[in-house]
């Protein structure tokens, strides 16, 4: 959980503010995963902070949802071209991928459970970057990815 919080703070994911009148917050929770190695032993324990995006209201908190999908025919074409021309293929794994997307609408989230500072219990997180669980996160991340690539 501390590693995840460090990644969130390093990425400047949110700022603590007073909740403006007429605005609502999205909850947050921790998701825990046990990562297992090839030999079946526990490789590491992982914690990820996610927003409770299922509480968001269409038209008010977010617009369209988005999920980029590559057609299998396109993937096969790419692999066959690479094989024919002896091109190298590389896999890319972006850690905390959704944290790189920038939000266009204001989203307020409750502070992460277990990480509320003394005297800050009345503050909420104004998200600057997308977070797993938000309805607009895939579009925000893909927009950032497309602009760079």
Instruction: For 20-49, give the DSSP string.
Output: PTT--EE-EEEEEEEEE-TTSSEEEEEEEE
Give CA–CA dist 67/135, Å, rounded: 10
Count the domains in the chain.
1
Range of the domain at 51: 2-148
The answer, yes or no, to whether residue 117 has pLDDT greater than 90, is no
What pLDDT, on a 0 to 100 scale, did the predictor assign at position 78? 92
97 has a pLDDT exceeding 80:
no
This prediction has a pTM of 0.72
Containing 142, the helix (H) or strand (E) segment is helix 137-148
149 alpha carbon, distance to own chain's centre = 19
Strands 124-129 and 102-109: antiparallel
Instruction: Let me know: does 45 contact 32? Beta carbons within 8 Å.
Output: yes
């Amino acid at each position: 959980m501390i590693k995840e919080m460090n990644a969130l703070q390093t990425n400047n994911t949110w700022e603590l503010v007073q909740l403006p009148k007429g605005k609502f917050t999205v909850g947050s929770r921790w998701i825990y995963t046990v990562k297992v190695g090839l030999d079946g032993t526990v490789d590491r324990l992982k914690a990820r902070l996610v927003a409770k995006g299922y509480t968001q209201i269409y038209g008010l908190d977010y617009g369209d949802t988005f999920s980029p999908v590559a057609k299998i025919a396109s993937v096969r074409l790419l692999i066959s071209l690479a094989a024919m021309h002896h091109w190298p293929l590389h896999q890319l794994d972006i850690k905390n991928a959704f944290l790189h997307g920038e939000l266009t609408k204001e989203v307020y989230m409750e502070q992460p459970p277990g990480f509320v500072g003394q005297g800050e219990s009345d503050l909420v997180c104004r998200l600057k970057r997308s977070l797993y669980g938000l309805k607009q996160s895939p579009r925000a991340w893909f927009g950032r990815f497309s602009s760079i690539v």
